[in-house]
Structure 1
Amino acid sequence: MFQELEGRHALITGAGAGIGAAISLQLAQTGCRLTLCGRSQGTLQAQAEALREQVPDLAVLIAPMDVADEQAVQAAVQQAQSRFGPVNILVNNAGQASSQPFAKTDAALWQKMLNVNLTGTYHCIQAVLPGMLDAAKAGTPGRIVNIASTAGLKGYAYVSAYVAAKHGVVGLTKALALELARKGVTVNAICPGYTETDIVREAVQNIVGKTGKSEAEARQALAASNPQQRLVQPHEVAQSVLWLCAAGSDAINGQTMAIDGGELAG
């Protein structure tokens, strides 16, 4: 299963933990060659070693970078393409969320959320797209999967900058999907609800600090928005990414897939 992905070059941002780590494992198991990107070389190295334990013949490169830094992104992608050739699968997973009431959201916080969550996605697509288009023209389809959030499809109080940035990711996904529709590259967005990641763990601690609730109560408060009354698990998001990258998904383009237990169904 998914044998058609063997040998394809997949670049994943925010690959060191959480959703990014789960996506990396799924793609590694298909035989993809992986470039793992993130800000911490140590975290990426640990993830690469963990992947090799599960997939001993894995071809993997770590390319540390900050997605908000255009030059760093260009350098990392150049390194990756020198090693494995054009990127065939790009997963824009790197993200960051900060919580503040809008009145306390200063310009620095606003810009930081846009830089990491939206402009970072733009930087990565710009860097890989020329090579991806050339490969698609030669017969290897391209896949761009942007990990957005349910915050890209609805509003949440106290995270206005994050919500604005993720709405931007969804808009970029739709616009670019139309531009590339006849060029062998699809562009889609995955929109997870509250997921068992470092971002949610930070949100839990923020709730504990500001409300005095216990950690269990804070987690329950976040899970309450999910009709299944639980947090989404990283591997559930990764499975959806894998499906979008596989054969048979060519007609899935410009879509936003909510992985949220039904939160947006109501």
Structure 2
Amino acid sequence: MTDSRGMRPSARRRRLWRWVSMLLGLMIAGTLFSVLSPRHHTLAALEAGQDAGQLRQGEQIYLNTCQSCHGPRLEGVEGRGPSLIGSGEAKVYFQVSTGRMPLPRQQAQGQRKPVELSPEEIRALMAYIHSAGGGGAEMPEERGPALRGDGARGGELFRLNCASCHNFTGRGGALSSGKFAPSLDPANEEQIYTAMLTGPSNMPVFGDRQLTPQEKKDIIAYVESVAEGRDSYGGNPLGGLGPVAEGAAAWVVGVVGLMPLAMWIGSRS
């Protein structure tokens, strides 16, 4: 049985269902986009009472300095920069306060350089990315020396978790594929804490299940004590790189010292 247009009722129902399904799909997609888009989180943060001026300042800084690599909505740009959604303020603080970001060019690893933003601008950028990106690792409540714990215990934890890359004195070392573990001498307490919390570059993330907040503070105390007490009581520290540099120096000095002795013995015989 067909209608006036020659269509069976079952075919007409299937066609109508396809249109209904398409409309429902578009409505669901639009709802999910409005809920999950970074802009939604920014508005939610404003409604929660965060400083609207600071968020707007952070957004403007982001659009001026970050969006070319990370996208206008923090979604990332393929081949240029990763997504910042879920990054959190701790990751922003480490990367920007150490001058690694903005990155001057694409390279194997961002390197420490003079900071381009003021402390106020960094705080604004942190607030914007943290709110627009849907949260993430947050900054510790303590600041400066308050982030230092037990240095003796920190030395044990550092040798167990960090020395394989950063050397036991925190002077860093080479890794694979053009990357390296940087020296920890110029890092302040907040930068060391946020590095452990976010795992920049090849560094693993040391969450609170791997290292408790107190253990992180202990490691910070050890690193800062080593950096502050780098006195060379035993002579030239040879860069503070440990047994590799010392062994190489001993070998060179020993060989050079033995050459005249070997020549003297040869002349006597």
* TM-score, scaled to structure 1: 0.25
The structure richer in strand per residue is: 1
TM-score between both structures, scaled by the size of structure 2: 0.25
RCO higher in 1 or 2 (8 Å CA, sep ≥ 6)? 1
Answer with 1 or 2: which has the greater Rg: 2
